Amino acid sequence: DAGVIQSPRHEVTEMGQEVTLRCKPISGHDYLFWYRQTMMRGLELLIYFNNNVPIDDSGMPEDRFSAKMPNASFSTLKIQPSEPRDSAVYFCASSPGDSKFYEQYFGPGTRLTVT
């Protein structure tokens, strides 16, 4: 298996532009997680899905952020409009089951820079 795939790996955009990050989880994994990593806050969960349904989006910073999972093999995280403070590394992770028994598998991350 190729592991969790994220694209793009790097994104540089100007303030006010729309940014879309993409994730393909490992086949057969029922859970998908979006994380943001910053120096100030470390690794924080933004949202997670179970069987394509959003379960907990309490970590989404504000209405500018949205995430979708239209099918079991694809998810997007969208920021519109983007702001410089959104600059961070965004990780997608997937898991085959509940956290009591299964670890999460992380993708390589997307490094976002908003100028």
Partner 1 sequence: ILNVEQSPQSLHVQEGDSTNFTCSFPSSNFYALHWYRWETAKSPEALFVMTLNGDEKKKGRISATLNTKEGYSYLYIKGSQPEDSATYLCAFSDLGATNKLIFGTGTLLAVQP
Q: HSE of 39 in the Cβ direction (CA atoms, 13 Å)?
A: 2
According to DSSP, residue 25 is labeled: P
Compute the distance between CA of residue 54 and CA of residue 30 in angstroms, rounded to an integer.
Answer: 12
Burial string for 57-77 (b: 16+ CB within 10 Å, else e) reads eeebeeeebebebeebeebeb
Quick check: 108 binds partner 1 (CB under 8 A)? Answer: yes
Quick check: 38 binds partner 1 (CB under 8 A)? Answer: no
| 7 vs 80 by CB, closer to partner 1 | 7
Binding pattern to partner 1, positions 47-86, x when CB under 8 A?
A: -x-x----xx-xx---------------------------
Give the strand pairing for 74-79 and 53-56.
Answer: unpaired
Quick check: 106 binds partner 1 (CB under 8 A)? Answer: yes
Q: Identify the residue among 15, 27, 98, 113 touching partner 1 (CB under 8 A).
A: 98
Cross-strand partners of 77? 21, 67
Quick check: 90 binds partner 1 (CB under 8 A)? Answer: no
Q: Identify the residue among 24, 77, 109, 112 touching partner 1 (CB under 8 A).
A: 109
What is the binding site for partner 1 (CB under 8 A)?
31, 33, 42-45, 48, 50, 55-56, 58-59, 91, 95, 98-109
